[in-house]
Amino acid sequence: MLLTPSQTKESLLRKLRGVNQVPDLPIVLAPLLNYLQQPVDSMQVAEVVRLISRDKALTAQCLHLANSPLFGRWQPVDTVHGAVVALGLRRMREIATSCCLLNLTPRASKLDPVVFWEHALGCALASRHLARAVGFADPEKAYLAGLLHDFGILMHLWLAPREFQEAWEKARAAHIPLQDAEEEVLGVGHSETGRMLAERWRFGDPLVAAIGGHHDVAKVTAHRSLVAIVALSDVLCRMGGLNHGYSEERQVDMVEEPAFAVLSEEFPAIHTLDWERLTFELDTFVVEVHQLVNVVSCPK
């Protein structure tokens, strides 16, 4: 018997509260995420190496990436320390977090994990870029929030794979936001389920706010600027070449977005932002993101 959206929502949230069917948070991810939220100049190479080395799969992926032609390596790197030195702490922060979360994607999922992580990484890059453009104090936190913003999609893949597939196909056919289709089919969008898991796994208040609020910025009461940056970056990516595997048919005026109004309260510079130029600059990320995610998701 098919469940109604409200029944599906209750079933999903019941599973989520028990997290019996959700993979345990990789032992390295929580301390790694907490540590990597610091400014790069406050981090120590030895500590990053220690945290990464605690997970064999993560170690293998980072080493594979460090030796990728994408980063112009001429000499092989065979240790995590060498990888950190070769790529730099900033790049290793991006790669380590991406690898950890990529490993949470269900192997039997019909959703191409490459598509999912291309959007996540694209939003991360766009968030950092926009944060710098408006003068946000911590562009690296904006990067991490952008990377994690669709965390709830992973939960839907684990807890309600059939219903989520139906929602994704509905969104693709109607060219509507995935969040809207999820609410119609599952009774709840990925922003809410993502927020619940982020709280349970103690991601910290700023990340919880960005994950839970990026589709409804007007209702956010804390960390509003960070949430607004992620929300605008998400829209930019969904309208561009880093979406959820399909295009949305709607016209977007960034100045009319609720997130723009939130940012304009604290950062007047946003009123002089050249959106056409910003969009062009973000387009240059597409090739890099495609290459990066394919390298990370397909270790030899």
pLDDT score recorded for residue 71: 65
pLDDT score recorded for residue 159: 81
Residue 76 φ/ψ, nearest 5 degrees: -65, 145
For the chain, what percent of residues have pLDDT higher than 90? 30
Instruction: Classify domain 12-297 by CATH number.
Output: 1.10.3210.10
Query: Residue 46, Cβ neighbours under 10 Å: how many?
Result: 10
Using N-to-C axis directions, what is the helix angle for 275-283 and 285-297, rounded to 10°? 40
3: left (phi over 0), alpha (psi -120 to 50) or beta: beta
Q: In angstroms, rounded to a whole number, what is the distance separating the alpha carbons of residues 208 and 54?
A: 25
**Residues in the chain with pLDDT values less than 70:** 1-3, 12, 15-28, 30, 37, 69-74, 103, 107-111, 295-300
Domain ranges of the chain: 12-297
pLDDT score recorded for residue 131: 95
**Type of residue numbered 46:** A
